[in-house]
Amino acid sequence: MITDILERASKGQATVDDAERLMGLQDKGDIEELFAEARRVRDREFGRSVFTYGFVYFSTYCKNNCNFCYYRRANGDIGRYRKSIEEIVQLAGALRDAGINLADLTMGEDPVMYANGYERLLETIRAVHEQVGIPIMASPGALPREMFPKVREAGADWYACYQETYNRPLFESLRIEQDYDARLGQKIWAMEAGLLAEDGMMIGLGENVRDRAETIVKMGTLGCQQIRAMTFVPQEGTPMQFTEPYGPMDELKAIATMRIMFPDRLIPCSLDVEGIAGLRTRLAAGANVITSIVPPNKNLAGVAQHELDIENGNRSVEHVFESIEAEGYKHASTADYVKFLNSRRGQ
Ligand code: SAM
Ligand code: MD0
Ligand code: SF4
């Protein structure tokens, strides 16, 4: 059965049913075959070279109240911070100098960044673009449509905004007080403005395997050049604190399914779920971008794992580069990454 599905996928003809079957596999041998095929497809498309993204979570203030998120506004006193533009430029400069391909400038929906027509957000992107010159992903939350040309003009290459699930009622129960269609629009409006877009799903939020299959097909057909899956990590002080956490297997199957169905997309291995321990399995499931690389001693947080492996240096550039090599891969040069971006932008 799996052979039939893989064959359909190789012709670009795999369906939602096929995605559901792949992610429903339970037999050890079948799962190994799924991962082996995902690696073959990844190696054919990208070789054994992976892109590396530094994570700069520059403001952890947020006006939203997503039930799954540590930084939701009701989770009051958690030691939030907001970095100055100068600090952000320094952080991005250090990532560039260390050989990282992209700075992921991420924030909560911080009213200070959003004030006066998103002035400080745009200034931050512009300062990093002009003073550092490293490729930029902006992950600032949901913006009005007219902002996307401005984000592009300020110097962002990518816009990341994850739908989490394409099951509308589930979305509404998680991203409370937020508009499903407006969040979907983010990706479309970003691409219309000449940005590359990333969409993403979370695993373990109450969705079933069918929902995941539908989400993967929707994310892929929307045209986003980067698509991701991340396992939900329950957060202290939130309504979902006591939700039973999932192991990594469902995320790995989702990564492999995305790779097989959408071979040419960038698919992250996020260090923000299991820390550095999660690198090997995600690469072996077909991922080709390492995200959430975070330098120590800079008072920077992750999202799903706000502390894990940061201050001990396990998510540092040096340690991540060593780990990539130990797994038999190499990290791509930024010149190669820029070439890749230009080819995907159709330049
Ligand atoms: N605030 C912006 C937004 O929501 O789009 C950008 C940053 S947000 C913190 C980035 C993503 O992190 C979310 O879209 C979600 O997919 C993921 N995330 C948040 N909390 C998580 C958790 N507890 N476990 C796993 N992933 C989580
Ligand atoms: C990551 N913690 O890559 C980051 C984050 C935001 N663009 C990405 C979820 O894992
Ligand atoms: Fe805010 Fe983003 Fe967290 Fe939602 S996921 S509470 S928008 S930081």
Q: What is the pLDDT of residues 245-277, one digit of tens each?
A: 999 999 999 999 999 999 999 999 999 999 999
Which residue type is seen at 12?
G
Q: What is the pLDDT of residues 123-152, one digit of tens each?
A: 999 999 999 999 999 999 999 999 999 999
> What's the confidence (pLDDT) of residue 346?
73
Q: Report the separation in Å between the CA atom of 279 and the middle of ligand 2, taken as the mean of its atom positions.
A: 14
pTM here is 0.98
Other C-beta atoms closer than 10 Å to the C-beta of 109 total 19
Q: 347 pLDDT band (50/70/90 cuts)?
A: low
Per cent of the chain over pLDDT 90 is 98
The pLDDT of residue 65 is above 90: yes
Per residue in 75-130, pLDDT (tens digit) is 999 999 999 999 999 999 999 999 999 999 999 999 999 999 999 999 999 999 99
289 — pLDDT class (breaks 50, 70, 90): very high
- Give the CA distances from residue 36 to residues 4, 31, 216, 282, in Å, rounded to whole numbers and listed in that order: 15, 9, 20, 12
Asked whether residue 201 carries a pLDDT value surpassing 90, the answer given is: yes
Ligand 1 site, residue 235, Cβ cutoff 6 A: yes
Does 285 have pLDDT greater than 90?
yes
Smallest Cα–Cα separation from 293: which of 150, 39, 91, 64? 91
Please list every protein residue whose CB sits less than 6 Å from any atom of ligand 2: 55, 104, 106, 139, 160, 268, 270, 272, 291-292, 302-303
State the DSSP string of 281-321.
HHHHTT--EEEEE--TTS----SSSSSTTTTTSTTSHHHHH
Q: Which of 62, 65, 68 to mutate to test the pocket of ligand 1 (most atoms within 8 A of CB)?
A: 68
Report CA(230)–ligand 2 centroid distance (Å). Answer: 9
The mean of the pLDDT values for the chain is 97
Query: Vertex 150, ends 148 and 155: CA angle to 5°?
Result: 100
Q: Are 177 and 140 in contact (CB under 8 A)?
A: no
Euclidean distance between CA atoms 342 and 347, whole angstroms: 5
- Look up residue 55 and give its two tokens: 């994570």
Identify the residues whose C-beta falls under 6 Å from ligand 3: 62, 64, 66, 69, 71-72, 108-109, 141
What is the pairing mode between strands 136-139 and 102-107?
Answer: parallel
Rounded average pLDDT over 328-342: 98
Ligand 2 mean position to 242 CA, how many Å? 23
At 138-190, the pLDDT tens digits run: 999 999 999 999 999 999 999 999 999 999 999 999 999 999 999 999 999 99
